[in-house]
Amino acid sequence: MSDRLRLMAVHAHPDDESSKGAATLARYSAEGHEVMVVSCTGGERGDVLNPRLQGDAEIERDLPKVRRREMAAAQAILGVQHTWLGFVDSGLPEGDPLPPLPEGCFALEPLDVTTEALVRVIREFRPHVITTYDENGGYPHPDHIMCHVVSVAAFRAAGDASAYPHAGEPWQPLKLYYDRGFSRAKLTAFHEALTEAGIESPYAEWIANWGDRPEGRITTRVPCSDYFGKREQALLAHATQVDPDGNFFRITKEMQARVWPTEDFDLTLSYVQPGEGVEDDLFAGLGSADDADQLATTGDRTLVVDDVRAREEA
């Protein structure tokens, strides 16, 4: 494909790429575009969430090695490139009061260090579009929140020749999206579909726990139901991190394709003027790869969407 565009998905841990936007990644890869997943950490402090694998001697001896092998399997299923940013999982502190985060973990690294690392990857891969998490991290894991902070900072810095001059030639990504994997509306649609089919739904509690939390804005719905099977396979490849008999798989991919055939995103930073209504393509407005390359490498551009700053100033 001569007109290949490039998409980068920045995630906190291995397995996040398979549970958040994976069908979109698989679709764009299958269509001939270049897709890269960046894992900020190795997931070293993750728990074994699959009851079938708890107590496994190899996993207990070297979980990081196992998670790297799982990531390689998921990468192959999705048909994407992958790189490790190289930071250490912060873990999810629990307790009252919360214990301090471990020294040297991703969430405690200086922002200049983490940002330069991601800027280096951006300038090497040269993505036109980046996806990541919102300011709440999707959920408030310290690594997810740090992933958001670093992604926004690197998006802003990558095209600035004066920023991190030793991290490669400047390259300005043109659009930054937040992943909107779950919403009250989506959970409700799943719940109603299962109930109508006479299947016990796990989503009633999720919906009740949503409370007064506002829905995240959705600007873009990417049709990708043909790749829900790839998404499921990739998630199952992270065998230590998912219970194959758990609630995540209660609703079949066929039922999901019928009631919610898209993966959803929020355009938050953009040098490309968004069109009217809801987009159906993360590459909307970019034109050809040559056009997008020219805009990414010249200074003649204006940030026309800056919802990050708008939220900070609100």
Question: In the chain, what is the greatest distance between 2 CA atoms, to the nearest angstrom?
Answer: 60
Beta strands in 138-236 (DSSP E): 175-179, 220-223
Buried b (16+ CB within 10 A) or exposed e, 105-125: bbbebeeeebbbbbbbbbbeb
Q: Could you list the residues known to form a binding site, using ranges.
A: 13, 16, 144
Q: Could you list the residues known to form a binding site for Zn(2+), using ranges.
A: 13, 16, 144
Phi, psi of 255 (to 5 degrees): -70, -40
Tell me if 304 sits within 8 A of 273, measured CB to CB: yes
Beta bridge partners of 176: 130, 269
Tell me if 143 sits within 8 A of 13, measured CB to CB: yes
Beta strands in the chain (DSSP E): 6-11, 34-41, 81-87, 129-132, 175-179, 220-223, 262-270, 305-306
Name the amino acid, one letter, at 11.
H
Long-range CB contacts (< 8 A, 24+ apart) of 233-236? Answer: 233/77, 234/17, 234/18, 234/22, 234/26, 234/74, 234/77, 234/78, 235/15, 235/18, 235/19, 235/22, 235/74
